[in-house]
Structure 1
Amino acid sequence: MKDQAPPGDIPEATAPRRLSTQETAERLGVKPETVYAYVSRGQLDSRRAPGGRGSTFDAAEVDALARRTGRRAPSPASGELVFRTGITLIEDDRCYYRGVDATELAGRYTYEEVAEWLWTGELRPGMRFAAPAEALAAARRAVDALPSHSGSTDRLRGAVVAAATADPLRFDLSREAVLASTRSLIPTLVGALPRVGGAAAADGPSDDADDADEGRDADGGAALARRLWPKLTARPADGPSIAVLNTALVLLIDHDLAASTLAARVAASAHAHPYAVVSAGLGVLEGPLHGAASGLAHRMLAEVLDRGSAVPVVADHLRAGRRVPGLGHRLYVSEDPRARALFALLADVPQAAPALAAARDVVTTTARHAPLHANVDLALAVLSVSSGMAAEAGETVFAVSRTAGWIAHALEEYGERPLRMRPSGRYEGPRPPRPLPTVMDEPPR
Structure 2
Amino acid sequence: MRSVCEHDRDSVNVDRIKMTAPLPRLTAAQTAARLDVKPETVYAYVSRGLLHRERDAHGSTFDALEVEAFASGRRRVAARTPAHPTVGMPLGVVQTDVADIEDDELLYRGRRARDLIDRPFAEVVAWLWDAERLDAPDTAIGSARAVVDALPLHAGAMDRLRAALTGFAADDPLRHDTSAATLHRIGWTLLTGLPVALGGDPHPDLARSLVTAWAPGAPAPVIDAVNAALVLLIDHDLAVSTFAARVAASARADAYAAVGAALGAADSPLHISAATRTARLLTRVRRGMDPERALTEALQDGNGIPGFGHPLYRDIDDRADALFPLLGALPDGEGTMDAVARLRAVVSDRARLQPNIDLALAALVSGARLPDDAASTIFVLGRIAGWVAHIGAEYAEPAMRLRPRGEYVGP
Aligned pair 1:397/2:378, yes or no? yes
Q: Is the 8 A contact 2:144 2:165 kept in 1?
A: yes
Change (3 A) 1:277 1:99: same
Q: 1:360 to 1:275 in 2, by over 3 A?
A: same
The aligned counterpart of 1:166 is 171
Match of 2:356 in 1: 375
Shift of the 297–319 alpha-carbon distance from structure 1 to 2, 3 Å rule, reads closer
Structure of greater Rg? 1
- 3-state SS of 1:242 partner: helix
- Alpha carbons 1:115, 1:404 under 8 Å: kept: yes
Q: How far has the Cα of 1:270 moved from its partner? A: 0.5
Q: Give 1:227's aligned residue.
A: 209
Quick one: distance in 2 between partners of 1:77 and 1:297?
29
* C-alpha contact 2:134 2:185 (8 A) present in aligned 1: no
State the SS of the aligned residue for 1:227.
helix
Partner of 2:196: 191
Q: Which of 87, 90, 99 is the equivalent residue of 2:110?
A: 99
CA distance in 2, matches of 1:128, 1:410: 18
Contact 1:240 1:349 in 2 (8 A): yes
- Shift in Å, 1:136: 0.7
Q: Which amino acid aligns with 2:285?
A: V
Structure 2 residue 122 is matched with structure 1 residue 112: yes
1:429: Cα distance to partner?
A: 3.5
Q: How does 1:26-425 map to 2 (within 5 A)?
A: 79-107=90-118, 109-120=119-130, 129-194=134-199, 211-212=202-203, 215=204, 223-231=205-213, 233-234=214-215, 236-307=217-288, 309-317=290-298, 323-425=304-406
Query: TM-score, normalised on structure 1?
Result: 0.70
Unaligned runs of at least 5 residues, structure 2: 1-84
**Letter of the aligned partner of 1:387 in structure 2?**
A
* Equivalent-residue separation in structure 2 for 1:144 and 1:421 (angstroms): 36
Identity among equivalent pairs (%):
42
Separation in structure 2 between the aligned mates of residue 88 and residue 234 of structure 1, nearest angstrom = 32
Q: Is the 8 A contact 2:347 2:354 kept in 1?
A: no
Mapped to 1, the partners of 2:243 and 2:143 lie a distance apart of 28
Deviation, 1:320, is 7.5
Distance (whole Å) between structure 2 residues aligned to residue 250 and residue 234 of structure 1: 20
The alpha carbon displacement at 1:110 in A equals: 1.1
Q: Secondary structure at the match of 1:313?
A: helix
Residue 316 of structure 1 deviates from its aligned partner by 3.8
Cα distance in 1, alignment partners of residues 311 and 254 from structure 2: 31
Q: CA shift at 1:152, angstroms?
A: 1.6
User: 1:117 deviation in Å?
Assistant: 1.0
1:241 Cα deviation after fit: 1.0
The one of the two structures with greater contact order (alpha-carbon pairs below 8 A, sep at least 6) is: 2
- CA shift, 1:194, in A, is 3.0
Partners of 2:272 and 2:90 in 1: CA distance: 25
The alignment partner of 2:107 has SS state of strand
Gaps of 5+ in 1: 1-73, 196-209, 216-222, 431-445
Q: Any conservation in 1 of the 2:309–2:356 contact (CA below 8 Å)?
A: yes
Distance across 1 between alignment mates of 2:89 and 2:310: 20
Give 2:148's aligned amino acid. V
Matches within 5 A, 1:4-19: none
Q: CA deviation at 1:296?
A: 1.1
Counterpart CA distance in 2 for 1:77 and 1:315 is 30
Report the 3-state secondary structure (helix = DSSP H, G, I; strand = E; otherwise coil) of the residue aligned with 1:307: coil
| 2-structure distance, mates of 1:86, 1:191 | 31
Answer with 317-326 or 111-120: which moved more: 317-326
Secondary structure of the 1:90 match is strand
Partners in 2 of 1:367 and 1:79 — Cα distance? Answer: 28
Query: 2 CA distance for matches of 1:79 and 1:340?
Result: 27
In 1: Cα distance, 2:339 partner to 2:330 partner = 15
